[in-house]
């Protein structure tokens, strides 16, 4: 599903080149549950952005679902993100003027897939995550854990193959965080490919594979 070959990424500050990723080789297959671990500044978020087609590498090749994405334009990339990836963020990023179900439906506005009865589907998803009473609540009326579950429902509505989560438990207490990780485990059992990016070593045990990033390179890649 994901094949990264010698991926390098540098930022330029004036004339100075700041290498963030120093040659990443990584293959992630369909149905895996990978925890991408690294301390702040290790390059893990940059790697996630490249995997999520939100950023482009400076060097190297990236194949995503059997397509080389290196030369794709904005529209094609937007399409691929919409079709194949569901994002989950630390700060949830729900839109304040929409209620829970409307937030879940955001990807549908841009979707080219033929999702049948998206509203019913959004309801079912929210129900599955224990939010049937919260469907018409605005984000400010929801707890952190509830907001994150709405965000996960949003990630799933367009039936992507990959869930990409960046510090999904970072803004939650550890009990709620564990519940969210259990939810990912459940989704993985249902067949979704999951990548969770985190600095928190406690989350390692939830995944099936641990990839540790240190100083822009993979230092450990083991099954857990």
Partner 1 sequence: MVLFQKISQLREFVEEVIKILYYYRGRVIFSFSGVTLGILSICIIITTIDGANKKAQEIFEALGPDSIIVFGGGERQRAARMRLSTLKVSDADHLARVEGIYDMMKVYSARNVTMRYKDRNWQTQVVGSTMNYFESMSWGFQAGSVYTASDYANAEAVCVIGAKVYDELFKDENALGKTILVGKLPTKVIGVLEEKGGSTGGHIDDRVIMPLTTVTSRIVNEKRYLSMVRLKTHRDLDKTIEDVRAVLRANHGLKGNLDDDFTIRSSKDILAFVTVISGSLLLFLGTASVVALVVSGFVLANLFYLTIQERKKDIGIRRAYGATRKGILLSFLFESILITFIGGIAGILLSVILGGTFEKLFDIPMMFSFKVVVFAMLFSFLTGVLSGLKPALRASRIEPIEAIRG
Query: Closer to partner 1 at the Cβ: 66 or 74?
Result: 74
Binds partner 1 (CB under 8 A): choice among 9, 44, 81, 123: 81
Binds partner 1 (CB under 8 A): choice among 17, 18, 39, 95: 95
Q: Does 75 engage in binding with partner 1 (CB under 8 A)?
A: yes
Task: Specify the stretch interacting with partner 1 by CB under 8 A; choose among 12-20, 25-33, 48-56, 210-218.
Answer: 48-56
Q: Note whether 32 and 221 are within 8 A (CB).
A: no
Q: Note whether 4 and 26 are within 8 A (CB).
A: yes
Task: Specify the stretch interacting with partner 1 by CB under 8 A; choose among 23-31, 78-86, 169-177, 202-210.
Answer: 78-86
The order of strands in the sheet holding 209-214 is: 85-89, 162-166, 193-198, 33-37, 209-214, 217-223
Task: Specify the stretch interacting with partner 1 by CB under 8 A; choose among 1-9, 85-93, 140-148, 210-218.
Answer: 85-93
Nearest to residue 128, comparing CAs of 112, 161, 104?
104
Classify 3 as helix, strand or coil.
strand
What would the x/- binding string for partner 1 be over residues 121 to 160, using CB under 8 A?
---------------------------------x---x--
The order of strands in the sheet holding 16-28 is: 16-28, 2-13, 59-64, 67-68
Q: Note whether 118 and 109 are within 8 A (CB).
A: no
Q: Does 107 engage in binding with partner 1 (CB under 8 A)?
A: yes
d(CA 75, CA 77): 5
Q: Does 58 engage in binding with partner 1 (CB under 8 A)?
A: no
Residues of the shown chain interacting with partner 1 in the complex, contacts defined by CB under 8 A: 49, 52, 54-55, 74-75, 78-79, 81-83, 85, 87, 89, 91, 93, 95-98, 102, 105-112, 118, 154, 158
């Amino acid at each position: 599903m994901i094949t990264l070959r010698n991926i390098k990424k540098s930022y330029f500050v004036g004339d100075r080149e700041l290498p963030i990723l120093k040659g990443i080789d990584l293959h992630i297959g369909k149905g895996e549950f990978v925890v991408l671990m690294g301390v702040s500044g290790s390059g893990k978020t940059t790697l996630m952005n490249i995997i999520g087609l939100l950023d482009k590498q400076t060097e190297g090749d990236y194949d995503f679902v059997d397509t080389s994405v290196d030369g794709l334009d904005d529209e094609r990339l937007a399409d691929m993100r919409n079709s194949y990836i569901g994002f989950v963020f630390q700060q949830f990023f729900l839109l304040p003027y929409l209620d829970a179900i409307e937030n879940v439906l955001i990807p549908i506005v841009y979707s080219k897939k033929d999702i049948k009865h998206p509203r019913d589907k959004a309801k079912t998803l929210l129900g599955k995550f224990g939010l049937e009473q919260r469907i018409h609540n605005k984000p400010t009326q929801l707890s952190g854990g509830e907001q994150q579950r709405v965000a996960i429902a949003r990630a799933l509505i367009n039936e992507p193959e990959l869930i990409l989560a960046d510090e999904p438990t970072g803004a939650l207490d550890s009990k709620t965080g564990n519940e969210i990780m259990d939810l990912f485990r459940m989704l993985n059992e249902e067949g979704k490919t999951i990548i969770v990016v985190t600095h928190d070593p406690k989350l390692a045990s939830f995944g099936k594979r641990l990839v540790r990033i240190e100083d822009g390179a993979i230092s450990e890649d083991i099954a857990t």
